[in-house]
């Protein structure tokens, strides 16, 4: 039936427009990652394997770069939860990607302490160099730019997180060299976190 | 006061077990297990007056006492290492440079409440910190400070690190537990409180990293020593994270009888504002608390002192702002944060933060009208106090406090149809921590 006498029965709006995550390529954990996940599951009580959903998704992302519908189902099977439970989690947390991202994901902190130290200019500079907007990946598929919220190193503002590593105290004029060094040397080019003084 | 928690953080290898043992490490755990009953530890922490360092300043001993001991279920310690409050970066230092202090604190806390497992919930962005913690746990376990039959006393204790994935709201204690259970980080209704119905429905104590790091000190030196380190009811060493427009931003340890002025202008601390600029405002406790003005800085930087001045100590992350800061822009920047981080579970917060952000953007870009300013306060007061968790109150604070103290800036934006503050923060170079 329709909601209103004048409304056609097949009006589309009351049909759910929700789409499930794209299946994507077939995904199975590599034996090492599977062993790692099996170890992680033992950290939680026997009937609470659901707790391992977040760690499992990090493993997927580590292996494949992003998280597909197929991978969600794979995780759901292993952890004995429903695929919807897994998708629910994937779509909530900002660190999980459901689309392919560049080799280096640049998350530039834009919250107050970084912003008063010029974070906005850093973002501008990256955009100009790569010809992208925040949220996009450059044409070569090397860099994805994300505007992040406070990363917890406000004394070293502005901070950029590159994948899981840190680059601190970035000035706009440092950006060309940073991008070039990343292209050439990968994450080894980063300063890391300043507390790790031994590295220097 | 000489630093205690951060005394060795600049030494090479300060994070290794060997270093920690050379400086009296794990003696508190030995003492606690050997000569005290769990109840005595709880009493000791109560007597010390230790207050939670995560934001609310609730007495830790009391929190532990509320943990339901009659329940048949297992009990848990959940250590809150989510540290996502803008302007806060103190737990970071503890975990990275002094991880064994936290692990020892977790073990003593487990013993005190009768738990066998502690989970450290660390924010996803702290991947490098997680590595340090996990290595430290493995080291401690190999030497018998964790695991089965700790130090031959028959006490079993495991500590695990659980990585979050980028959600500020996961710092709220019940949302943290949900996230630990493998769900969205959305808070639960309280009561029941975690002490009765926490992780997996079992009695749980949720404690901040810095809180747990203080526990070994109390056991080692005694509650009287601890209480005497600061003003009444605000004892113990305290870590302050100070960032923004100061010369030397960073983490500083002090007793809570220090004033905000000394922290910002003291030679040993931040050494004042960057050259050529004057102080305009301070947000003393992370982004979620009311602003203090320059004439209010003689206030003691203690839980009670900052409340007296009309704000809150919160996470003790002070963001210091100079005369170039536009207060409308500031509110817009913070509301961008809150709008992004709202978990969406309850309507006033989910919708309200979006409305507030849009209104602020409108005013900041010069498109606003005088009515929009009143609309801002009206939306804000309709969110505050009407939400499931304290996030709602936190989110409207930047709006209400900037309107209260800097209404003239809002009006100038409307009158002149543009941002009226010199936007030289955009051209600013990073100051660089020492
Ligand atoms: C929105 C929100 C975010 C919070 N974020 C954190 C956090 O990042 N770290 C933290 O220790 N406490 C945070 N808290 C406070 C916790 O809910 C809780 O009070 C604290 O972990 C208790 O530990 P304590 O008693 O040791 O302070 C947050 C609270 C709210 C409402
Ligand atoms: S106040 Fe905001 S963060 Fe808290 S439960 Fe409601 S929507 Fe979620
Ligand atoms: S504001 Fe950028 S790290 Fe905190």
- CA–chain centroid gap for A1, Å, is 43
Write the residue with the smallest CA distance to atom 11 of ligand 1. B54
Query: Tell me, what DSSP letter sits at residue A165?
Result: E
Partners of residue B183 in chain A, C-beta under 8 Å = 50, 53, 85, 88-89
Our CA-based measurement puts residue A7 at a distance from the nearest CA of chain B, in whole angstroms, of: 30
* Residue that has been written with the tokens 């290898």 in this structure: B13
A195 confidence band (pLDDT: 50, 70, 90): low
List alpha helices for B342-425, DSSP H.
347-364, 370-383, 391-416
- CA–chain centroid gap for A26, Å, is 20
Q: State whether A81 and B87 contact (CB < 8 Å).
A: no
Query: Tell me, what DSSP letter sits at residue B33?
Result: H
Q: Side by side, which strands form the sheet with B250-255?
A: B250-255, B237-244, B317-322, B279-283
Q: Backbone dihedral region of B242: left (phi > 0), alpha (psi from -120 to 50 degrees) or beta?
A: beta
Asked whether A109 lines ligand 3 (CB < 6 A), one says: yes
CB contact, 8 Å: A50 with chain B? yes
Position B429 scores a pLDDT of 43
Asked whether B286 lines ligand 3 (CB < 6 A), one says: no
> β-strand B317-322 against B237-244: which pairing, if any?
parallel
Torsion of CA A149, A152, A154, A160, to 10 degrees: -60
Question: Which of B228, B253, B225 is CA-nearest to residue B239?
Answer: B253
CB contact, 8 Å: B136 with chain A? no
* Residue that has been written with the tokens 């900002």 in this structure: A94
CB contact, 8 Å: A169 with chain B? yes
Contact A56, B163 (CB under 8 A): no
Position A190 scores a pLDDT of 85
Asked whether A157 lines ligand 3 (CB < 6 A), one says: yes
Name the average pLDDT for chain A: 88
Partners of residue B116 in chain A, C-beta under 8 Å = none
Enter the tokens of residue A35.
């062993």
Residues of chain B under the 50 pLDDT cut:
426-434
Rg (CA), chain A: 21
Asked whether A154 lines ligand 3 (CB < 6 A), one says: yes
Whole-angstrom CA distances from A102 to A2, A19, A25 are: 47, 25, 18
Contact B102, B92 (CB under 8 A): no
Enter the tokens of residue B136.
């430290």
Contact B349, B387 (CB under 8 A): yes
> Rounded to the nearest 5°, which phi and psi values hold at A13?
-70, -25
Position B331 scores a pLDDT of 95
A49/A61 Cα distance (integer angstroms): 19
A149 confidence band (pLDDT: 50, 70, 90): very high
Helix (H, G, I), strand (E, B) or coil at B229: coil
Question: Rounded to the nearest 10 degrees, what angle do helices A69-79 and A53-64 cross at?
Answer: 140
Query: Tell me, what DSSP letter sits at residue B115?
Result: -
Whole-angstrom CA distances from B173 to A176, B49, B193, B359 are: 41, 21, 9, 31
Nearest-5° angle of CA A177, CA A182, CA A187? Answer: 130
Enter the tokens of residue B132.
């340090």
Q: Extract the runs of DSSP E, i.e. beta strands, from B6-56.
A: none
B128/A192 Cα distance (integer angstroms): 9
Question: Chain A 72-111, CB below 8 Å of chain B: which residues?
Answer: 79, 81, 85, 88-89, 92-96, 110-111
Distance B80 CA to ligand 3 centre (A): 19
Nearest residue of B to residue A57, measured between CA atoms:
B165
Question: Which of A75, A131, A136 is CA-nearest to residue A100?
Answer: A136
Question: Chain B 254-273, CB below 8 Å of chain A: which residues?
Answer: none
Tell me: the pLDDT tens digits for A55-101? 999 999 999 999 999 999 999 999 999 999 999 999 999 999 999 99
Q: Ligand 2 atom closest to Cα of B353?
A: 2
Contact A193, B433 (CB under 8 A): no
For an interface test with B, the pick among A152, A158, A164 (most B C-beta atoms closer than 10 Å) comes out as A152
Domains along chain A with CATH numbers: 31-92 (1.10.10.1590), 104-199 (3.40.30.10)
CB contact, 8 Å: B138 with chain A? no
Position A191 scores a pLDDT of 78
Q: Which ligand is nearest to the CA of B283?
A: 3
Question: Which of B25, B78, B58 is CA-nearest to residue B219?
Answer: B25
Q: H or E stretch including B223?
A: helix B223-228
Helix (H, G, I), strand (E, B) or coil at A137: strand
* pLDDT of residue A200 exceeding 50: no
Distance B341 CA to ligand 2 centre (A): 9
Domains along chain B with CATH numbers: 17-228 (3.40.50.11540), 237-322 (3.10.20.600), 327-416 (1.20.1440.230)
User: Structure pTM?
Assistant: 0.94
B139/B134 Cα distance (integer angstroms): 9
B193/B99 Cα distance (integer angstroms): 28
Contact B235, B228 (CB under 8 A): yes
Q: Is the peptide bond before B191 cis (omega within 30 degrees of 0)?
A: yes
Partners of residue A196 in chain B, C-beta under 8 Å = 96, 128
B253/B213 Cα distance (integer angstroms): 13
Position B129 scores a pLDDT of 95
B178/B82 Cα distance (integer angstroms): 13
């Amino acid at each position: 039936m329709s909601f209103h006498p004048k409304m056609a029965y097949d009006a589309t709006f009351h049909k759910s427009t929700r789409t499930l995550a794209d299946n994507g390529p077939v995904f199975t954990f590599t034996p090492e990652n599977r062993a790692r996940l099996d170890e992680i599951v033992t950290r939680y009580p026997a009937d609470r394997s659901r707790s391992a959903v977040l760690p499992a998704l990090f493993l997927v992302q580590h292996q494949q770069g992003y998280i597909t519908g197929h991978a969600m189902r794979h995780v759901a099977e292993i952890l004995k939860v429903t695929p919807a439970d897994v998708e629910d989690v994937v779509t909530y947390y900002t660190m999980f990607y459901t689309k392919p991202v560049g080799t280096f994901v640049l998350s530039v902190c834009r919250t107050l302490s970084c912003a008063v130290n010029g974070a906005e200019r850093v973002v501008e500079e990256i955009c100009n160099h790569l010809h992208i907007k925040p949220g996009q990946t450059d044409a070569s598929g090397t860099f994805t730019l994300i505007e992040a919220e406070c990363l917890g190193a406000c004394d070293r503002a502005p901070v950029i997180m590159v994948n899981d590593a840190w680059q601190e105290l970035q000035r706009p004029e440092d950006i060309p060299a940073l991008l070039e060094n990343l292209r050439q040397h990968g994450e080894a080019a980063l300063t890391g976190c300043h507390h790790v003084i031994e590295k220097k | 006061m000489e630093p205690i928690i951060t005394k060795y953080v600049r030494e090479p290898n300060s994070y290794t077990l060997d270093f920690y043992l050379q400086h009296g490490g794990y003696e508190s755990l030995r003492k606690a297990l050997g000569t005290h009953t769990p109840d005595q530890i709880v009493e000791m922490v109560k007597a010390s007056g230790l207050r939670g360092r995560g934001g609310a300043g609730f007495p830790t001993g009391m929190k532990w006492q509320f943990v339901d001991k009659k329940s048949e279920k297992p009990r848990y310690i959940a250590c809150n290492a989510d540290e996502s409050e803008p302007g806060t970066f103190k737990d970071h230092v503890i975990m990275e440079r002094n991880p064994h202090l936290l692990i020892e604190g977790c073990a003593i806390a487990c013993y005190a409440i009768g738990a066998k497992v502690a989970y450290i919930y660390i924010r996803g962005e702290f991947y490098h910190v997680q590595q340090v913690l996990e290595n430290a746990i493995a080291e401690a376990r190999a030497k018998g400070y964790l695991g089965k039959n700790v130090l031959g006393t028959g006490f079993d204790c495991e500590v695990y690190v659980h990585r979050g994935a980028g959600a500020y709201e996961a710092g709220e204690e019940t949302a943290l537990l949900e996230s630990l259970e493998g769900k969205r980080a959305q808070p639960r209704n309280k009561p029941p409180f975690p002490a009765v119905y926490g992780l997996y429905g079992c009695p749980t104590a949720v404690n901040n990293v810095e809180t747990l790091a203080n526990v070994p000190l109390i056991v080692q030196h005694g509650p009287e020593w601890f209480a005497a380190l600061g003003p009444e009811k605000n004892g113990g060493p305290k870590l302050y994270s100070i960032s923004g427009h100061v010369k030397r931003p960073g983490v500083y340890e002090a007793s809570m009888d220090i004033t905000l002025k000394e922290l910002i202008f003291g030679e040993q601390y931040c050494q004042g504002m960057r050259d050529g600029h004057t102080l305009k405002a301070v947000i003393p406790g992370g982004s979620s608390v009311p602003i203090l003005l320059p004439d209010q800085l003689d206030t003691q930087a203690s839980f009670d002192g900052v409340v007296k001045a009309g704000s809150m100590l919160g996470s003790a992350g002070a963001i210091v702002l100079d005369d170039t800061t536009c207060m409308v822009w500031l509110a817009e920047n913070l509301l961008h944060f809150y709008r992004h981080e709202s978990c969406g579970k309850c309507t006033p917060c989910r919708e309200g933060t979006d409305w507030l952000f849009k209104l602020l953007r409108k005013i900041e870009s010069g498109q606003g009208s005088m009515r929009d300013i009143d609309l801002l306060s009206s939306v804000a007061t309709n969110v505050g106090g009407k939400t499931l968790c304290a996030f709602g109150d936190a989110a409207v604070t930047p709006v209400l406090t900037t309107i209260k103290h800097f209404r003239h800036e809002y009006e100038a934006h409307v009158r002149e149809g543009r941002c009226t503050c010199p936007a030289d923060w955009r051209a600013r170079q990073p100051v660089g921590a020492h």
